Amino acid sequence: MPVTFPNEPGEYRARRNELLQAEADLRQRVEDVAQLRRELPQGGTVAEDYVFDVLDENGTRIKRSMSELFVAGKDTLFLYGFMYGPEMEQPCPSCSSFIDALNGNACHIQENISIAIVARSPIERIGEFAAQRGWDRLTFVSSANNSYGKDYHAESEEGGQLPMANVFQRGKNGIHHFWASELMFEPFAGDPRHLDMMWPLWNVLDTTPAGRGEWNPDL
Do 182 and 192 contact (CB within 8 A), yes or no?
Answer: no
| Position 107 confidence tier, pLDDT thresholds 50, 70, 90 | very high
Phi, then psi, of 22 in degrees rounded to 5: -65, -40
Average of per-residue pLDDT across 91-113: 98
Nearest-Å Rg of the Cα atoms of the chain is 20
| Position 183 confidence tier, pLDDT thresholds 50, 70, 90 | very high
Residues ≥6 apart with Cβ < 8 Å to 199: 97, 98, 101
| Position 5 confidence tier, pLDDT thresholds 50, 70, 90 | very high
Residues ≥6 apart with Cβ < 8 Å to 201: 97, 98, 101, 217
What are the distances in angstroms from CA 39 to CA 2, 44, 148, 168?
36, 15, 25, 15
| Position 2 confidence tier, pLDDT thresholds 50, 70, 90 | confident
- What does the mean pLDDT of the chain come to? 97
Do 190 and 212 contact (CB within 8 A), yes or no?
Answer: no
| Position 190 confidence tier, pLDDT thresholds 50, 70, 90 | confident
Average of per-residue pLDDT across 38-47: 96
Average of per-residue pLDDT across 57-74: 97
Average of per-residue pLDDT across 145-150: 97
